[in-house]
Amino acid sequence: MVEKFDAIVVGAGPSGNAAAYTLAKGGLNVLQLERGEYPGAKNVQGGIMYAAELEKIIPDFRDDCPTERHIIEQRVWLLGDDSYIGTNYRSDAFNTDRPNRYTIIRANIDKWFSEKIREAGGLQICETTVTELIRDGSGKVIGVRTDREGGEIHADVVIMADGVNALLAKRAGYQPELQPQNVALAVKEILFIDPELIQQRFGVKEEEGVVIEIMGKVTKGMAGTAFLYTNKESLTIGIGCLISDFKAGQCPPYKMLEDLKAHPVIKPLIDGAEMKEYAAHMIPEGGYKAIPQLYGPGWMVAGDAAHFNNAAHREGSNLAMASGRMAAETVLELKAKGQPCTAANLAAYKAKLDQSFIMKDLKKYRNLPSVLHGNKQFFSEYPDVINAAAHNWFTVDSVDKKTKEKQIMGSFVKTRSVLGLVGDAIKLVRSVR
Amino acid sequence: MSHMVKIEEKLYQNRYIVDESRPHIHIRSADVCSGSCSAKPCTVCCPAACYTLGEDGGVTLATDGCLECGTCRVICQDNKNIAWDYPRGGYGISYKFG
């Protein structure tokens, strides 16, 4: 006899956990399946966690959630060959009882979240890969098949939160393959270091953290960004570029990461730290235009599997948690009304998404992916010429300031031409409005 | 800037539960790699260097260090020459930190 649940959630990442917890808390009989050895074993995040969405799901999460440091300072660096120019925002007002952003270690958060799901009555089974959806004669999803013996399980609805590869939806014909220009590959390392050194080098106290977001020469002209985050006793450093660019280039991702670590402005920050893990993960960056079908008869898709990622603001896990919660709430509302999970009824999920920051933000930046993909000057010429301009301006050498201004303006025009500069400005502004 | 990178040293830090003699990724046709695919982007893009150029002009795949990111499947979609699956439940990369 095949076992049947109210809902099956595939995957134990941020979206799957948010969905499973919300369903269990709502009193439904929910099964969550995870292919990893334990929750988090397959998950990779930078990682910054934004409190607001987790707070909606577990209001008192701060009581026992194993976060690392709350962020009090945000730096954005544009790297030259041996320099950076950038901005900082730091405020003591970020030292509140309820901080908004935390650095995290992904696996710690996933284990904690899974414990909450079990406490709420959800059943979670790890080491189980879901191989395909099971559909009835009408095409309605009625369950999943797993790689366990007799591994067929039925449910009224299946929420696919299986991550960026989204193999289940692809195999079912609900999604096309990811296009190389719509997905980035990021690699990262966790570097353990004496916390005292973190405090000294970044100018923070024990619980305080710093985020550095990085663009520039280190991606070798490819569309990509890098980051350096402070955890309690470790630093995470990573870099990612569009897969279309890696495909066209000749630089392996791990070499790019090594060049970043050796950069003269980065090296002193990570010096003496011990690397304990090397990870790689794809990031959906196609934005609004790459969002696939989000629901159908008996199924919904959430998180990275639904391409919910705001690359411009480096937000992903919050969109994942929000979409997982909304998928679960859609099911709870239908169950309360005694209505089945048909495609027409699950359209309420899409309506919730449309009303939320998820679709509003992705729509706002809908043209950004194609602009960045087609205009590599933002990742090559500009970092160069801006760093050189700063170097000129801050070198005091008896050249008069008017001449320096002319030299700097000339360097911009030489690099991009007047029309090119105006065009780039228009493109950038249009892509974010 | 050029730095010698030993990818093996990076992968050595990771925890893997290897499913002996059951690789989860396959090259469908060796002839496509050695023949029509001149660029062989998998040999550059794979973050774990699972794909290496052979002396015969072909590509050799060793999945033991695979990080299960999916990049190879995405870049090879025109040739459709990579059959990509997840490892069996519980096997493969097991991130301690992620």
pLDDT tens digits, chain B, 98 residues: what are they?
A: 445 678 999 999 999 999 998 999 999 999 999 999 999 999 999 999 999 998 888 999 999 999 999 999 999 999 999 999 999 999 999 999 99
Give the number of other CB atoms < 10 A from CB of residue A291.
21
Contacts of B77 in chain A (CB under 8 A): 177, 180
Interface of A with B in 17-56 (CB under 8 A): 35-38, 40-45, 47
Asked whether residue A188 is domain-assigned, the answer is: no
**HSE value, Cβ hemisphere, 13 Å, CA-based, for A223:** 24
Q: Which helix (H) or strand (E) holds A277?
A: strand A274-284
The confidence score (pLDDT) of residue B4 equals: 63
| Interface residue A178 vs chain B (CB under 8 A) | yes
Asked, as a colleague might, if the bond just before A47 is cis with ω within 30 of 0, I would say yes
Same domain, A324 and A380: no
A343 and A374 fall within a common domain: no
Say if A181 is an interface residue toward chain B (CB within 8 Å): no
> Residue B94: its chain A contacts at CB < 8 A?
36-38, 41-42
The alpha-carbon radius of gyration of chain A (Å, integer) is 23
> What is the pLDDT, as a whole number, of residue B2?
45
Task: Write out the residue range of the structural domain in which residue B70 sits.
Answer: 27-93
Would you call A169 an interface residue with chain B, using a CB distance cutoff of 8 Å? no
Q: Which of B3, B41, B86 sits opposite A247 (nearest CB)?
A: B41
Residue A164 lies in a domain: yes
Alpha carbon A381 to its chain's center:
27
β strands within A28-104, DSSP E: 30-33, 48-50, 70-79, 84-90, 101-103
Residue A216: inside a domain: no
Taking contacts as CB-CB distances below 8 angstroms, the residues of chain A near B49 are 252, 254
Q: How far is A126 from chain B (nearest CA, A)?
A: 7
DSSP chain B: ------HHHHHHTS-EE--TT--SEEES-HHHHHTT--S-THHHH-TT--EEE-TTS-EEE-GGG-----HHHHHTTTTT-EEE-PPSTT-EE--S--
Q: Which residue, among A205, A378, A190, has the nearest Cα to A276 in the 3D structure?
A: A190
Across the interface, whether the CB atoms of B98 and A254 are under 8 A apart is answered: no
What residues of chain A lie within 8 A of the CB of B96, using their CB?
107, 276-277
Q: What is the CATH number of the domain that holds A123?
A: 3.50.50.60
Same domain, A425 and A378: yes
Please indicate, yes or no, whether residues A329 and A383 belong to a single structural domain of this protein.
no
Q: Can you give the pLDDT of all 433 residues of chain A as single tens digits?
A: 789 999 999 999 999 999 999 999 999 999 999 999 999 999 999 999 999 999 999 999 999 999 999 999 999 999 999 999 999 999 999 999 999 999 999 999 999 999 999 999 999 999 999 999 999 999 999 999 999 988 899 999 999 999 999 999 999 999 999 999 999 999 999 999 999 999 999 999 999 999 999 999 899 989 999 999 999 999 999 999 999 999 998 899 999 999 999 999 999 999 999 999 999 999 999 999 999 999 999 999 999 999 999 998 999 999 999 999 999 999 999 999 999 999 999 999 999 999 999 999 999 999 988 888 888 888 888 999 999 999 999 999 999 999 999 999 999 999 999 989 999 988 888 888 7
Mutation to test the A interface, candidates B24, B45, B72, most A Cβ within 10 Å: B45
Taking the Cβ of residue B65 and every Cβ of chain A, the question of whether any pair is shorter than 8 Å is answered with no
pLDDT in the model for residue A375: 85
B51: CATH? 3.30.70.20
Beta strands in A161-223 (DSSP E): 183-192, 208-216
The predicted structure's pLDDT at residue A57 = 98
Closest of A126, A159, A136 to residue A330, by C-alpha: A159
What is the ipTM score, two decimals? Answer: 0.96
Our count of domains for chain B comes to 1
Residue A340's CB: how many other CB atoms inside 10 A? 14
Q: What does the alpha-carbon distance between residue A234 and residue A194 come to, in Å, rounded to a whole number?
A: 8
Å between B58 CA and nearest CA of chain A:
18
Closest CB to B98: pick one of A106, A187, A258.
A106
Cα dihedral sign for A17, A157, A283, A431? negative
> Which residues in chain A touch residue B68, judged by CB atoms under 8 angstroms apart?
42
- Overall domain count for chain A: 2
Residue A424 domain boundaries: 370-431
Residues 17..56 of B with a Cβ closer than 8 Å to A: which?
Answer: 17, 39, 41, 44-49
Residue type (1 letter), B79:
N
B9 within a domain of the structure (yes/no) = no
pLDDT at B37: 94
Are A246 and B41 a contacting pair at CB < 8 A? Answer: yes
Residues listed for chain B: 98
- pTM value is 0.95
